Each structure stands twice: as structure tokens, then as C-alpha cells.
Amino acid sequence: MPKQVKPAIEPRLLNIKQAAAYMGGSIWFVRTLIWNRQIPFVKFGHRLLLDKKDVDAFIDAQKIGVKP
């Protein structure tokens, strides 16, 4: 019988490095967003984490529409 492969679980929360890679930006860009309270974050002890849904919402809010 073939070995069953478990599906990979995608994390909902991203650390700063993961969020930067996801957004295509730098770590300092993400830190600046957090420090300026431009994006919501979760604090677990000393760790700052970002919800993927909040990152997507931030990106959508930054979109500039086209003129007709």
C-alpha cells in the first residue's frame, strides 16, 4: 500500500520575516508598519505575528484604481 501523505498545514499567523516574504517587502518595511500601527498584529510574549488575513486586507487597501 502507498504511504499516505498528510497535507501541509499553512500557518495563519506569520512572523515578521515570513510576512515580509509574503508581501514582497523587507523586514524593516513590516516592522515600520507595525510600529506605526498601520497593520494589526498579535503579540505572544516577545514575538510579533501578523494574521495572513490582515496582511491581505492591508494589501487590498493599498491598491490604487485605474481611471476609466
- Whether 55 contacts 39, CB under 8 Å: yes
- Per-residue model confidence as pLDDT tens digits over 4-16: 777 788 889 999 9
Give all strands of the β-sheet with 47-51 in edge-to-edge order. Answer: 13-15, 47-51, 42-44
**Pairwise CA distance, residues 13 & 49, whole Å:** 6
pLDDT band at residue 1 using 50, 70 and 90 as cut-offs: low
Residue 2 has pLDDT above 90, yes or no: no
- Per-residue model confidence as pLDDT tens digits over 13-63: 999 999 999 999 999 999 999 999 999 999 999 999 999 999 999 999 999
pTM: 0.80
